[in-house]
């Protein structure tokens, strides 16, 4: 069965860095795009970042562009989110999610979040 | 970015009720619309994709409709497990965006 397990969350001071990991199992990791989605306490869902199935393309929300970097290691079936220069407003539960049900269209690959990890809490506070 | 607006933000209903949640996109997204359910302390769960396709294993009391800018999620007969928060999400283009959520609570 598909499993996504996040790790690396914790409490960090503003301006510091943290790296989240998401270990995937139960499916062909190299065949799927992977995303990070976050949820601030008591708030809604916010898409953060995407990495294509082969790592050739990455995209970021404007709120994290230039500070966060997504990457993946196919030998470890793991996707990472390197978060630098953290701010209080980055405090959230961070979920990794698989991009499934995808279709190739003239407008690019279109897929949804068909599997999610359990989430990893990141708290940015002095 | 495409803005997604859900209504209502909170919905009070009883077991067995038929409920409908609406989601409006700020521009046309064709049928590239998904619905998720989130229970307290849990990760979201995919219910419907491409506006109306039911995800495998999701009960048939859930249904989705719409295209362009207007979409809806309907639960035909509310069950105890259905009291949760529901989010719509567009995946027509980046940045991917979610609606603000609709909390379905017990009346």
Residue pLDDT, tens place only, A52-111: 999 999 999 999 999 999 999 999 999 999 999 999 999 999 999 999 998 888 888 889
User: Which pLDDT tens digit goes with each residue over B56-95?
Assistant: 999 999 999 999 999 999 999 999 999 999 999 999 988 8
pLDDT of residue B19 exceeding 90: yes
Which chain B residues are Cβ-neighbours of A47 within 8 angstroms?
A: 95-98
Pairing of strands B19-25, B70-75: antiparallel
Model confidence at B6, in pLDDT bands (50, 70, 90)? very high
Compute the nearest-CA separation of B24 from chain A (Å). 16
Q: Residue A105's pLDDT is what? A: 86
Q: Residue B25's pLDDT is what? A: 98
Contact assessment for residue A2 and residue A101, using Cβ atoms and an 8 Å cutoff? no
Contact A110 B91 (CB under 8 A): yes
Q: Is B57 exposed, middle or buried (0-12, 13-18, 19+ CB in 10 A)?
A: exposed
Confirm or reject contact between B93 and chain A (CB < 8 A): yes
């Amino acid at each position: 069965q598909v499993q996504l397990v996040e790790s690396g969350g914790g409490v960090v001071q503003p301006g510091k860095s943290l790296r989240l990991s998401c270990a995937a199992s139960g499916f062909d990791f190299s065949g799927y795009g992977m995303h990070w989605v976050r949820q601030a306490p008591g708030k809604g869902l916010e898409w953060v970042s995407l990495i294509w199935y082969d790592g050739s393309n990455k995209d970021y929300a404007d709120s994290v562009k230039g500070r966060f970097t997504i990457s993946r290691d196919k030998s470890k079936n793991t996707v990472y989110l390197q978060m630098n220069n953290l701010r209080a407003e980055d405090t959230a539960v961070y979920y990794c999610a698989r991009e499934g049900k995808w279709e190739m269209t003239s407008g690019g690959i279109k897929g949804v979040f068909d599997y999610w990890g359990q989430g990893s809490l990141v708290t940015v506070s002095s | 970015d495409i803005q997604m607006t859900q209504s209502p933000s909170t919905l009070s209903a009883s077991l067995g009720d038929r409920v409908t949640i609406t989601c409006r996109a700020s521009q046309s997204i064709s049928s590239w619309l998904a619905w998720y359910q989130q229970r307290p302390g849990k990760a979201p769960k995919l219910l419907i994709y491409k506006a109306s396709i039911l995800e495998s294993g999701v009960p048939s009391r859930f249904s989705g409709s719409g295209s362009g800018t207007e979409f809806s999620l309907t639960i035909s007969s509310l069950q105890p497990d259905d009291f949760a928060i529901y989010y719509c999400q567009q995946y027509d283009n980046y940045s991917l965006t979610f609606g603000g959520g609709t909390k379905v609570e017990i009346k």
